[in-house]
Amino acid sequence: MNFFQIVSAAMPQLLQGAKLTVWFSIASIILATVLGLVFALLKLSHSKISRRIGEVYVHIFRGLPLLVEIFYIYFAIPMILPLHKWFDPYFTPIAGIIALALNEGAYITEIIRAGILAVDRGQSEAALSIGMTGPQTMRFIILPQAFKRMVPPLVNQFIQTIKDTSLLSAISVTELTRSGQIIISTNFASLQIWTAIAVIYLAIILLLTALSGYLERRWQIDKR
Amino acid sequence: MISVKNITKHFGQHRVLNNISLEIKPQEVVVIIGPSGSGKSTFLRCLNGLEKVSDGQIFVNNKEITHSKTNLSHVRKEVGMVFQRFNLFHHLSVLENITIGPRKVLKVSQEEAEKRAFALLEKVGLSEKAGAYPDQLSGGQQQRVAIARALAMNPIVMLFDEPTSALDPEMVGEVLAVMKDLAREGMTMAVVTHEMGFAREVGDRVLFMDDGIIVEENTPDEIFNNPKEERTKLFLSKIL
């Protein structure tokens, strides 16, 4: 069999894996962004306790290797909390998404925090001066302006998240990388299959990059 | 309208405001002048709670804004402020800049808010700029939009913090003209400025501040033609 025959024979299984990769990426990106927003606001809060909670979160989940976090949630925590029984048959994907989201969320916390801090103080003063409350100021004035600046670093982090889903192969989520490993274990065509996997990853990330380029251009209307 | 009783403000060890008291009556235009670092902007920012006083009391329309239980956003609805650097919301169009306060804070309908915004834009001479974004406007235009944004809340008093200091000279006039109109219509105003012509023409009272205190206060005529204090004389001799 030549290169293309091997790859096209493996394609249905690889695309199945790619589909999982995309779903895991989307779920953990959404969850990580929510976590990032919550912990960024905590870190910027006036309350010392809130700030401390935010700091501890970032410190732990940015400080550990992602693979260790995945193993900890998948293998270690069930030793004391039978999560795998409660969430049976979905524990593996849930653990995977949560581990990814907690890790990426720590980085996103810092991205969002930096974005908020980069908005000129005069903006919030002006909002407060027309009687807006703190939360209204954040929601209507600060975040929309901060978000625009956050797009490039966020896209960076989302790309990182997509690639990091490959680590879920270690807890036997049959995403793209794991599907490839399974195929290779039967046909031993390492070169062909890993090449196909690489191309698929690049295609997914190219799609995301194109989408973010489009969004950035669209949000340039007011030149800020 | 505004009553300030013995306020003091520290930034760390530095005392910026030292035991200042002041009454501003309805429809009065009070102009505050003084060298930079004299505390005049800080003083103005205390009047709507953007700066917290270290000591003393401020009453706006008989509500004590220096009380810790006071809801500042309720007070600020009624106190308009115009900033040196305009501080228009960059992500919103001119129209949205003016309507967002009434819509989100006063819960006015969008239709109602826009109707009023167009009337205000006409008043400041910028009807044709409703759809523009702040960064497409000149400094003078931005400041006039900022005045319209503050007026959209129907404030009972307007605070101006060096509204023309960041403008190119040829744009100062258009902003001052809008402010003069306001004063003529009976708006209560406190204005920190270096525009002595404006102080003379529009001010009912001029305060000269230096080193965190009100050194001298009088009618514009008296302050400019017949200053009593040495420090006032020195300051005026440098700028006039």
What is the mean pLDDT of each successive set of 10 residues along chain A, which is 224 residues long?
Answer: 89 95 96 97 95 97 97 95 88 95 97 96 96 96 92 93 96 94 94 96 95 82 49
- Whether cis (ω within 30° of 0) applies to the bond prior to B102 is no
Asked if B61 is an interface residue toward chain A (Cβ–Cβ < 8 A), one would say no
Name the H helices within B134-168: 139-151
- Answer for the pair B141, B175: CB distance below 8 angstroms, yes or no: no
Q: What is the predicted pLDDT for the residue at A88?
A: 86
Q: Which residue has the higher pLDDT, B240 or B215?
A: B215
Neighbours of B107 (CB within 10 A): 8
Backbone φ and ψ for A170, nearest 5 degrees, come out as -70, -20
pLDDT for position A63: 96
**Interchain proximity A133–B73, CB inside 8 Å:** yes
In this prediction, residue A83 carries a pLDDT of 87
Nearest Cβ partner of B50 from A128, A133, A224? A128
Interacting residues of A84 by C-beta distance below 8 A, sequence separation 6+: A78, A91
Those residues whose C-beta lies under 8 Å from the C-beta of residue B25, and which sit 6 or more positions away, are B1, B188
Residue B69: per-residue pLDDT? 87
Q: Which residues pair with B63 in a beta bridge?
A: B60
Contacts of B92 in chain A (CB under 8 A): 222
Minimum CA–CA partner of A120 in chain B: B87
pLDDT category at B140 given cuts 50, 70, 90 is very high
Q: Is B59 helix (H, G, I), strand (E, B) or coil?
A: strand
- What 8-state DSSP symbol labels residue B39? S
Contacts of A196 (CB under 8 A, 6+ apart): A7, A10, A11, A14, A180
Q: Using an 8 Å CB-CB cutoff, list chain B residues near A224.
A: 90-91, 135
Residue A198's pLDDT is what?
97
Q: Tell me, what amino acid is at A168? A: L
The pLDDT, as a whole number, for residue B183 is 95
Q: How far is A33 from chain B (nearest CA, A)?
A: 22
- Comparing CA positions, the residue from A213, A205, A193, A138 lying closest to residue A14 is A193
Contact B65, B59 (CB under 8 A): yes
Q: Is A127 on the interface with B (CB under 8 A)?
A: yes
Look at A129 and B88 and tell me if their CB atoms are within 8 Å: no
Bridge partners for B104 per DSSP: none
